[in-house]
Each structure stands twice: as structure tokens, then as C-alpha cells.
Amino acid sequence: MPKQFDLLIFDWDGTLMDSAGVIVDSIQRACEDIGQPVPSDRASRQIIGLGLIQALQTLLPELPDDEYPRLVERYRHHYLGRDAHIPLFAGVVSGIQQLHADGFQLAVATGKSHHGLGRALEVSKLGPWFSATRCADQTHSKPHPAMVLELIDELDADPARTLVIGDTSHDLLMASNAGVASLGVTYGAHEPDDLRPHTPLALMDSFAEVHAWLNANA
């Protein structure tokens, strides 16, 4: 079968790195630290994928503006103490290397900060395999299409031959807003029922399934 896609744009947290649980716990601890009600796991997972400030404003819309910097500081305190030890999902290292060897251009679009993604790419040793990245502090946050459109422009790619792979409704809506295809993964932050309304080409239950699907269909 001829290749359908040239550019694969991966989300990071919950798609390549098994970080959703740590993010949720860090959000909950941060809220507790500043005396706010602790949000549920479900509510905390729903805002994963957004830029940090947007995520916290979405989760706690009634919080006074001058309290967000303290909440951000407490979130970073809890998350950064553990982020160097968060594992990639099984099969990610070999899968990403193989996709690169197969001739795909690979990119990352993430709600992480540029500094945070740089640290994650260094620790995971995946940096050399990605041609470009976009982070929430560099452009508009998901689900705005800017990350995808900027990556397409930077890499001189064809939108019709671009595929976004992510674990949240924010990822899939970003793809839809950019006019590109998407693939949803169910092993990260959002439930399958959150992903289906955004019409991904398929839903995958593990990174091994993602890699197999790309080998067979991409």
C-alpha cells in the first residue's frame, strides 16, 4: 500500500510518556497546598494537554487571578521533583526510531513548556528522532490549530499527508481545526468516549498498536 502520510505529529504526555497519573497527582497536591478543594481524577485528566495556565484556569475558573502564579509554582514543585523518572510507554523508543528509519518526518505538539519538553527529550534520548516541536508557551495552546499549522509550514509538509496522534480530545480537536487527520490513543488521559466525537481514523489501546497501525496504514 502506498504511504498515506509523510509527517506524524505526536502529543507527548499520555501518548509517548506515561505521565498522566503524575500530572493528576501534582494538580491535586497543588490545589491542596493553596487551600482549594481537590479536584477529582476525572476533572484533572480532562485538562491534560492544555497549556499549564489555561489548564488551571479551566479547572479552577473561580480562583482569583493573583492566585494562579502560586498554584503554578506548587504544581511545578510537585511535578518537577518526579519528571526525570517518568517512563515512556512500552515500545516507544524502538517504535519512534523505526518510524524515523522508515522515512516519516516526526514532530511533537505538546502542552508542555519548551523547557519542559527539552528536558523530557534529553532524559528520554528521543530528541534526535524529531525534526521539529511546538509547545504551549511558543504559540497558541491546543485545541487551536497553530501548533500543527506551524509544524507543517516549518517542515514544508502537505496537510493532506499529515497525521496527529494524541490521547486527549484537545489533540484531536486541534487536528480537526487544522484540517488534518488524527489517530486517538486510549491509554493516556482521556476516555474513548471523549475521543470518538472528534472522528479519529482509529483508536489504539497501546503504543504497540499505534506502531502496528502506522506500519499497516500510514
Q: What is the DSSP string of 101-116?
A: HTT-EEEEEESS-HHH
Long-range contacts of 91-95 (CB under 8 A, 24+ apart): 91/206, 91/207, 91/208, 91/211, 92/16, 92/17, 92/126, 92/207, 93/124, 93/125, 93/126, 95/207, 95/208, 95/210, 95/211
Correct CATH for 7-19+87-217 of 2.60.120.10, 3.40.190.10, 3.40.50.2000, 3.40.50.1000? 3.40.50.1000
Cβ neighbours around 56 below 10 Å, total: 21
The pTM score is: 0.95
Q: What is the mean pLDDT of residues 100-105?
A: 96
Say if CB 44 and CB 27 are below 8 A apart.
yes
Q: Domain residue spans in the chain?
A: 7-19+87-217, 20-84
**Three-class SS state of 182:** strand
The vertex-78 CA angle with 76 and 83, nearest 5°, equals 80
Tens digit of pLDDT for each residue in 175-206?
999 999 999 999 999 999 999 999 999 999 99
Tens digit of pLDDT for each residue in 141-177?
999 999 999 999 999 999 999 999 999 999 999 999 9
Chain-wide mean pLDDT for the chain? 95
CATH number of 20-84: 1.10.150
Point out the residues that are catalytic: 11, 13
Tens digit of pLDDT for each residue in 18-49?
999 999 999 999 999 999 999 999 999 999 99
